[in-house]
Structure 1
Amino acid sequence: MKRFIPMSALILAFGVSLSVFAMGLDEAKQKLDAVKHQGLVGETPTGYLEVVRAEGQAREVVEAINSARRDEYKRIAEKHDIPVTQVETVAGKKAIEKTPDGQYIQVNDRWVKK
């Protein structure tokens, strides 16, 4: 029992420290255009971002934006009583269409510059 308390405190402290490093949505939104322009992040047909090149804060931006997108897709799906996958597919198509030339999109599981 004596070993359990210090170990659980260590695990709790580690978990709290990781959450401090998580990027907030506002910060991720501010950095999104830059990481897309740098070719670090691209849009996928599934409606989510993916890392093209794992540099800088690309992964953190992807995680924060995708978390917000996932929540929004779920909300839309529930509102219209449709599967989330349907919302994701429509969102992915729109995101790819709106992606400016020179940025990455995923086509047939491969990254291509639009």
Structure 2
Amino acid sequence: MKSIHSLSGSKVLKTLFLSAVFAISMPVFAMNLQQAMSALPNAKTQGLVGEQLNGYLGVVQSSPEAESIAKLINDARRAEYTRLAKENNIAVADVEAMAGQKAVERTSRGHYILLDGNWIQKR
């Protein structure tokens, strides 16, 4: 194998360019928050995740996708609840409870909610 020092300047640039193109073109396996938000409606419809009274998503049917969606969205919710609590000088738990109640109320028919420790489809 040739070292980078034994290649000519144009070959070095070509090698670096091809390496960069390869790295950029590789599929991204990790989901980001925007992708999780986009996937959330379908995940709820499929019964993978549901709303909880604590203000966070729960995993109804365990899968890597469901776990990732719930984690990313819950992390964002936690940050927002913390911000709102500080801004309004109230406990984070109070914000979580209010958000959870609203989320459960707004959950569409057929989607899952956690009540009394059991996942049920909202009617």
The TM-score with structure 2 as length reference comes to 0.74
Unaligned runs of 5+ in 1: 1-19
Following superposition, the deviation at residue 22 of structure 1 comes to: 3.8
Q: Deviations over 1:7-58 (max 9, x none)?
A: xxxxxxxxxxxxx754211000000000000001000000000100013500
Q: Which runs of 5+ in 2 are unaligned?
A: 1-27
CA distance in 2, matches of 1:67, 1:22: 15
Asked if 1:105 is matched to 2:113, the reply is yes
Name the structure 1 match of 2:52.
44
Which residue number in structure 2 is paired with residue 32 of structure 1?
40
Counterpart selection for 2:66 from 58, 82, 89? 58
Q: Which has the larger radius of gyration?
A: 2
Once residues 50 and 60 of structure 1 are traced to their aligned partners in structure 2, the CA distance between those partners, rounded to angstroms, is: 11
Give the number of aligned pairs.
95
Distance 1:39 1:55 in 2: 11
After superposition, the CA RMSD in angstroms is 1.2
TM-score, normalised relative to structure 1: 0.80
